[in-house]
Structure 1
Amino acid sequence: MKRITFQTEYAEPVHPIQAAVGDTPATTRADLLCWSPTPDGTALAWFDAAQATIKALLDGVNPVVDASLHEDTTGTYALIEESQLELRQAALDIVADAAVAFPPPVVFYGNGTVRFDAVGISGALNDLHGQLQKQTTVRIETVQEYRPESSPGLLTNRQREAISSAISVGYYKIPREGTVADVADTIGCSHSTAGELLRKAERSVMTAVVDQ
């Protein structure tokens, strides 16, 4: 099995919340952490902005009927309830037809870009890539052998995303090709935040290796 990170670029946002992120200068992205594919969709998401900003953003999105918010040092988590699932049908069809798994997060940027991982056998991943190419501009960021994690909670989603981005920009190559600034640009955060995410992730991984 392989794990591929895809980046797609849509001419228009695939969801009203993504459009609202693009219209809100204080935030640049929404990470979909988990969701229920029901007619009245419920989702857990993370935004890179303060709670007050996200409350105002979600209040202006028509299908959102309720949202419970929690702010921490990285941004704001939101448990969102929609009156109906407003994700673009073409995107839903691709997900439904794909014989692969989609581990979280799915990252929606305000400029229309969507970044996500898919896990599966090569044939199914190739089929997914082909279907995506019919709908949008798509780029493959990384291709890795899938390795089940002995400790699923070892890294947070943000730490895992930072590590994945660091690999894709060449931060861990010898000689090093990418920088912390490149990682920060890729995942949409400040230089200091990217550095902290990488250090904490590296500490967690190395501690787990030493303790084995």
Structure 2
Amino acid sequence: MKSMRCTLRFEESAMHPVHRRIAEDDAFVRDQLLFGHRSEAGPDTMLFYAEGDCEAFADALAATDRIVDHEVRPLDESSCYAYVREDMSEFDVRLQEAFEGPGLLVVPPVEFRSDGTARLTVVGEPAALQAALEDVPAEASVDVERIGEYDGSPPGTGADLTDRQREAAAAALEVGYYDVPRSGSLEAVADELGCAPGTASEHLRKAERAALAAAVDPEP
């Protein structure tokens, strides 16, 4: 059994409206599909975990016509679960079918990231994985990050940061925000990121929380 970790990049026309909001709005950080169930008799049912502005996330769900029902349950000020029932687009159905063919299994979560990409892990036999890559619709491209024996370990090492959090942390290090004594300001970090100081501060707090969590309890 092989494991394939890959990143999907979407044409503008194929990007999900909620995913597009995540890519365009600094209020969003990360959106993860935890579980999904396809139904021939009606809308598909999905459970998401999201980080960022939960009210803005709920507004994005409400503004998407093909989402027929949803409920957002906040966990704290910056994270929530979302129960969603949705009529899938033709593209989404074809993409899902590509990675759920015979002999394949998508290992949750599927992560929709702030740079507009999606990351997922698929396990199966080599021939089935190759067939999945060939069946991906033309509106999406696939970057294969790793293929190997599946060992059940989470992707990556250390803190699980989003691209924007990692960019914020790198900017903070570059301008001296974490120097002792501190030689760079939060405003300098914001200038590097091209955002407001409050937004930069939020990105750094979440990156710091993820890094501390990984250091204190590195086990998944």
Q: Give the counterpart letter for 2:72 in structure 1.
A: L
Q: Distance in 2 between matches of 1:26 and 1:79?
A: 20
Cα contact 2:47–2:84 (8 A) shared by 1: yes
Cross-structure match for 1:210: none
- Counterparts of 1:3-14 in structure 2, within 5 Å, are 3-12=3-12, 13-14=14-15
Superposed CA deviations along residues 49-84 of structure 1, whole A, max 9, x for unmatched, are 1322222221211122322222224611101122x2
Q: How far did 1:106 drift?
A: 1.0
Q: In structure 1, which of residues 45, 50, 53 is the aligned counterpart of residue 48 of structure 2?
A: 45
Q: Deviations over 1:161-201 (max 9, x none)?
A: xxx122xxxx6xxxxxxxx5xx5244856421331342355
| Change over 3 Å in CA distance of 1:21–1:186 after alignment to 2 | closer
Choose which of 211, 215, 218 in structure 2 pairs with 1:195: 211
Query: What's the counterpart of residue 154 of structure 1?
Result: none
Aligned residues of 1:14 and 1:87 also touching (Cα < 8 A): no
2:22 touches 2:116 (CA, 8 Å); kept in 1? no
C-alpha contact 1:41 1:81 (8 A) present in aligned 2: yes
Q: Kindly tell me: are residues 7 and 122 of structure 1, through their superposed partners in 2, closer, same or farther at Cα, counting changes over 3 Å?
A: same
User: TM-score w.r.t. structure 1 length?
Assistant: 0.69
Greater radius of gyration (CA): 2
Greater strand fraction, Structure 1 or Structure 2? 2
Give the aligned partner of residue 183 of structure 2. none
Q: Which range moves more in the overlay, 33-42 or 15-24?
A: 15-24
- SS in structure 1 opposite 2:132? helix
For normalisation by structure 2, the TM-score amounts to 0.67
Contact 1:50 1:76 in 2 (8 A): no
2:22 maps to what in 1?
21
- Between stretches 30-39 and 8-17, larger displacement belongs to 8-17
3-state DSSP class of the match of 2:148?
A: strand
Whole-Å Cα distance in 2 between the matches of residues 81 and 133 of structure 1? Answer: 23
Shift of 1:20: 3.2
SS at match of 2:8: strand
Q: Give the SS at the match of 1:102.
A: strand
- Displacement of 1:111 after TM fit? 4.0
Which of 36, 59, 64 aligns to 1:61? It is 64
| C-alpha contact (below 8 Å) 1:47/1:75 kept by paired residues | yes
| Contact in 2 for aligned 1:165/1:187 (Cα 8 Å) | no
Q: In the TM superposition, what is the alpha-carbon distance from 1:4 to its structure 2 partner?
A: 1.4
In the other structure, the counterpart of 2:156 is 165
Measure the CA separation in 1 of the matches of 2:129 and 2:216.
Answer: 31
Identity of aligned residues (%): 19
AA matched with 2:7: Q
| 8 Å CA contact 2:47, 2:83 repeated in 1 | yes
Given residue 37 of structure 1, which amino acid in structure 2 is its aligned partner?
R
Hey, what's the Cα distance between the residues in 1 that align with 2:164 and 2:124?
24
- The CA deviation at 1:102 is 0.3
Q: Secondary structure at the match of 1:34?
A: strand
The 1:200–1:104 alpha-carbon spacing in structure 2 relative to 1, beyond 3 Å, is: farther
Across the two proteins, how many residue pairs are aligned to each other? 176
Query: Which secondary structure state, in structure 2, belongs to the residue aligned with residue 105 of structure 1?
Result: strand
Aligned residue in 1 for 2:116? 112
- For 2:134, the equivalent position in structure 1 comes to 130
